[in-house]
Chains A and B, each alone.
Chain A
């Protein structure tokens, strides 16, 4: 019966998740922090849930020399420390048998020859059918060399007998401006087809980010008012109370705009503003997202000063602790002009959003850790209750989607205070994930790694999205460079950012919401 051999008839109606085809994941940078903290724990948790295929294998590749056994031991320690669920000894043994390691002195062709040999052996021993995922968990400077070697060694194309598939997962930062992002895209495209490339932004693996799509497109009541007629403006905040946590080397080069806006915040903006996709599948969703990014009005010349604000924190108090200013952090240039705060006023020039401002702000050492999208609706057209209430207390309706922490959705509306007279107060109606679904969700890396193994790239950034985002951000960076050097520090650690950010909204007669 041919039908039996083309699809697995036992899969139909199985409530459990699909499991990917057997494959080998090669992790470049296998002794690094990301591998320890995120990748190995995520893979182990997927194994715990039975979501990894038979024969799944990990091949670690890094500078240090280690035996398979040592790598397994390191992996065990990492998973013990960082997994959201405890290690089960018997299951660990089965998982660890699929972990292999090879050292790479200097990423030269011989190292890759050894890697190719090891991957071929693992293919044979564990029947992975020549399927491979390459995970670049290395500094961006190493991307290009690895990609070239993957091409030259033939690893990127096919399994040994010409069967199987190859995919590559690339961590952010994907370039540092439009030009470098394009160059990197070209280098990757020389070796991999776009369908093979998974540019990971862990933000998109978060439950609430995916829930933006569900909220908008699974409900009938929001989409009709999700436009310029009813929405006054949108605020997107990604605030961190942490400083740079010893990552001065990276942050001095990056700054808030590259670190947060180019990727996380523009991704969230595109999910909030996109048109309904024709299907929930990679191409349709990403087509709509990239349209939003392309529709954002570019900021050039004087517009940069008018529509953006940047800041850098000085010393202050956060969470009851006294903290140093950015320039006093270890390994930071005492005269650094790297921004630790950025606020933007963007416009999405299309029919849905024409003239609706999108305000984005992100910063380090702000008063609290929070990421949210707040949709501010227009006021009721006629204030019937003007005489009976203080009109300032009649705030417009706000729908706030909290991404982290306390994931949930809040709607602010008005209610009458009980009593004979008509007094009106704003009340919040809260939906908290934790209070409705007492389920511990998978981590973002679990979601995204599984998606990649299954070949679903919906939640990964496509080449054109990356370039559209960098195009916008590069214009702003250029604008800032042409302006006189900023007078940093300009906000105190533990405050909501510089005065310029308040002015950015005040000039429109609006103000930032207190998350």
Chain B
């Protein structure tokens, strides 16, 4: 789309405003955006809405990064995005708002995608009661996704507020400091509140899980799952959350019972014997912190040994290798882009609870406990 064709973005901003004023401004912008940029073949003022996304940030830099991420979502754009920069204090409440409405033609697709972005800075006591500001601004009757951009807060009330508002709250465990402790807290939250949580860190494991599962689609190799002896995971330094979740997933799916821990080595017992799980952090400045670098499964059955490995060669390229007496295979596969925009977009496409995640999380949390 050339610059001339790009419909203008309509904007409004106000300082120290109330929610009613924001809502009124929103209605007006929405109308103007639809009138101003009718795509060929579509009626004036029509649109299709899919969901609302609320982003929670607690410092300016994170809020800005989140706004950027949302602007770069590759697909499935939220119909309304509300980015809240919350600065809780005991002061009087102040809300500053900035609204913008866009309609654009998505490249390669027909029809225009319309959406509104609301950036709110909420200060003072109101920052602890965000639902009172957000609820009136939601698109009626459509799914609400919350995106918690930072650490798990010490103030449980803030997180409760977000969990109450959103149908599903998206966190990123890779960004938590102290992975073991945070995963345990997340697991408790899921268990005690029955919270619908999803985790961008878990989403980044999707291609890895797919590749590992693929090895054992081959019926002749499947018996090795029973007799795994070692699981080695290497990850880029910064967070071990993804590595632990992957170990938790395998342990849960294969019915392992945690049996001990020494530094970054975890032991578990499986039907076929003991499994040693090693998690190593590697300095890899050119990789996303905490992202997986390689996974190696070793198995030994009836005197036969086999290895199954996935190795990241480039940010988006991996080699999957199976070596067993029955068959040896090596192939190169593409790892989908694992940036925040791609991962967030993938999460927005999925409604409902991810059972595999809650089980993997519970297991990841219990691995270090023994």
Contacts and interface: CB of A to CB of B under 8 A. Distances in A.
Given A12-B253, A15-B350, A94-B332, A434 B213 contact: no
A435 B222 contact: no
A336 B320 CA distance: 58
Contacts of A407: 110
Given A91-B332, A435-B112, A438-B113, A22 B213 contact: no
Instruction: Give the dominant DSSP class at A's interface.
Output: loop
B138 interface: no
Interface in A86-120: 88, 90-91, 93-94
Contacts of B47: 435
Interface in A216-262: none
B76 A10 contact: no
Given A10-B225, A53-B217, A90-B317, A405 B110 contact: yes
Contacts of A405: 110
B113 A5 contact: no
B114 interface: yes
Contacts of A349: none
B298 to A, nearest CB: 16
B75 interface: yes
Contacts of B217: 8, 11, 19, 21-22, 53-54
A14 B111 contact: no
B218 A430 contact: no
A5 to B, nearest CB: 5
Contacts of A420: none
Interface string B110-138: 11111000000000000000000000000
Given A50-B334, A432-B42, A435-B112, A15 B206 contact: yes
Interface in B84-130: 106, 108-114
Contacts of A48: 334
Contact of B332 (A4, A55, A93): A93
Interface in B313-370: 313-314, 317, 320, 322, 327, 329, 331-334, 350, 354-357, 359
Given A8-B222, A90-B332, A408-B111, A437 B76 contact: yes
Contacts of B327: 127
A171 to B, nearest CB: 27
Contacts of A21: 217-218
A211 to B, nearest CB: 14
A431 interface: yes
B77 interface: yes
A408 to B, nearest CB: 7
Nearest to B49: A436
A15 B210 CA distance: 9
A1 B254 CA distance: 10
A2 to B, nearest CB: 10
A9 B114 contact: no
A436 B42 CA distance: 13
A8 to B, nearest CB: 5
Interface residues of B, number: 59
Contacts of B39: 435
B209 interface: yes
A435 B357 CA distance: 31
A19 B354 contact: no
A446 B38 CA distance: 32
Interface in A393-438: 405-408, 427-438
Contacts of A8: 213, 216-217, 222, 225
Bin the interface of chain A by size.
35 or more
Given A5-B223, A15-B354, A438 B331 contact: no
Given A432-B48, A434-B113, A438-B109, A10 B350 contact: no
B218 A435 contact: no
B50 A437 contact: yes
B254 A438 contact: no
B333 A91 contact: yes
A266 B350 CA distance: 34
Interface string B248-288: 00100111000000000000000100000000000000000
Contacts of A16: 206-207, 209-210
B333 A50 contact: yes
A406 B110 contact: yes
Contact of A430 (B43, B209, B329): B43
B75 A438 contact: yes
Contacts of B108: 440
A21 B213 CA distance: 12
Contacts of A430: 42-43, 46, 48
A91 B218 CA distance: 22
A439 interface: yes
A90 B226 CA distance: 33
B212 interface: yes
A162 interface: no
Given A8-B217, A14-B210, A19-B214, A434 B333 contact: no
B273 to A, nearest CB: 12
A439 B75 contact: yes
A127 B327 CA distance: 7
Given A9-B254, A438-B113, A406 B213 contact: no
Nearest to B213: A10
A160 B215 CA distance: 22
A485 interface: no
A13 interface: yes
B153 interface: no
A5 B222 contact: yes
Contacts of A440: 75, 108-109
A4 B111 contact: no
B303 interface: no
The winner among A50, A129, A429 for most chain B CB atoms within 10 A is: A50
B125 to A, nearest CB: 38
B48 A435 contact: yes
Instruction: Give the most central of A13, A126, A406, A408: most B CB within 10 Å.
Output: A13
Contacts of A11: 213, 217
Interface string A1-35: 10011001111111110010110000000000000
B327 to A, nearest CB: 4
B77 A438 contact: yes
A50 B354 CA distance: 21
A245 B292 CA distance: 52
A4 B222 contact: yes
A434 B40 CA distance: 13
A237 B354 CA distance: 42
A50 B211 contact: yes
27 contacts: A4-B254, A5-B219, A9-B253, A10-B254, A11-B213, A12-B356, A13-B359, A14-B210, A19-B210, A22-B217, A50-B210, A90-B332, A91-B334, A93-B332, A127-B218, A427-B43, A428-B46, A432-B110, A434-B109, A434-B111, A434-B112, A435-B42, A435-B48, A435-B111, A438-B76, A438-B77, A439-B75
Top 6 A-B residue pairs of the complex, sorted by shortest distance between their CB atoms:
A13-B356, A432-B111, A94-B332, A434-B109, A434-B111, A10-B213
Interface of A: 1, 4-5, 8-16, 19, 21-22, 48, 50, 53-55, 88, 90-91, 93-94, 126-127, 129, 405-408, 427-440
Given A14-B210, A436-B50, 7 more contacts: A5-B219, A14-B209, A14-B213, A16-B207, A127-B218, A432-B110, A433-B110
